[in-house]
């Protein structure tokens, strides 16, 4: 037997379906552990996984979310983009913050700490963002040189 009745029984089993972060949980599990998911290659396929504690009990994850008490509009984010979904590596962020934490993001290690490229460009004020990107991606410059060498100087 399949279909709607099984769906209802599965939902009743854990009772979490209506929780505001249940869909977040479901999508997180799917992209990390379901090889048929279209997103698997970008998550599970490159070693991203959901910690065993959260995988074995949806309520541990949902209670963690509730205890974090994120405001409306924030979504689950991994601090280390190459790390797992777990309590130590997850937080809630805005979409703008999440866009700075992707595999394509460029970070610059400075004396003031690690910065996103756009922040480093603004911090040093010597080149435009597009100049820094071009220096790094097209000309092979290291990120710190790309933002600290004035625009009118070629390497």
Q: Residue 43 to residues 3, 67, 90, 91, 116: CA-CA distances in angstroms? A: 29, 26, 15, 17, 22
pLDDT of residue 11: 47
Q: Report whether pLDDT(4) > 50.
A: no
Q: Report whether pLDDT(13) > 70.
A: no
The token duo for 36 is 């048929």
Cβ pair 31, 37 in contact under 8 A: yes
Q: What is the pLDDT of residues 86-107, one digit of tens each?
A: 999 999 999 888 877 777 889 8
Read off the pLDDT of each residue in 44-63 and give the average, rounded to a whole number.
Answer: 96
Q: What is the pLDDT of residues 106-137, one digit of tens each?
A: 989 999 888 989 999 999 999 999 999 999 99
Tokens 């963002």 sit on residue: 129
- Taking the complete model, does pTM exceed 0.85, yes or no? no
Cβ pair 78, 86 in contact under 8 A: no
- pLDDT band for 5, please (50, 70, 90 cuts): very low
pLDDT of residue 105: 85
Q: What is the pLDDT of residues 34-43, one digit of tens each?
A: 999 999 999 9
Average pLDDT of the chain is 88
- pLDDT band for 83, please (50, 70, 90 cuts): very high
Task: Write the burial class of residue 144 (CB in 10 Å: 0-12 exposed, 13-18 middle, 19+ buried).
Answer: middle
């Amino acid at each position: 037997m399949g279909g709607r009745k099984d769906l209802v029984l599965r939902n009743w089993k854990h009772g979490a379906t209506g929780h505001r972060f249940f869909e977040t949980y479901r999508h997180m599990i799917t992209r990390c552990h379901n090889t048929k998911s279209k997103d698997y290659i970008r998550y599970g396929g490159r070693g991203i996984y959901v910690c065993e504690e959260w995988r074995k009990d949806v309520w541990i994850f949902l209670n963690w979310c509730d205890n974090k008490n994120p405001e409306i509009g924030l979504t689950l984010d991994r601090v280390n983009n190459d790390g797992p979904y777990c309590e130590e590596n997850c937080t809630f962020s805005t979409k703008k913050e999440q866009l700075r934490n992707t595999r394509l993001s460029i970070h610059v290690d400075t004396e003031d700490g690690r910065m996103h490229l756009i922040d480093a460009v603004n911090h040093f004020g010597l080149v435009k963002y597009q100049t820094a990107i071009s220096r790094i991606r097209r000309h092979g410059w290291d990120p710190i040189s790309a933002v600290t060498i004035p625009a009118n100087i070629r390497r």
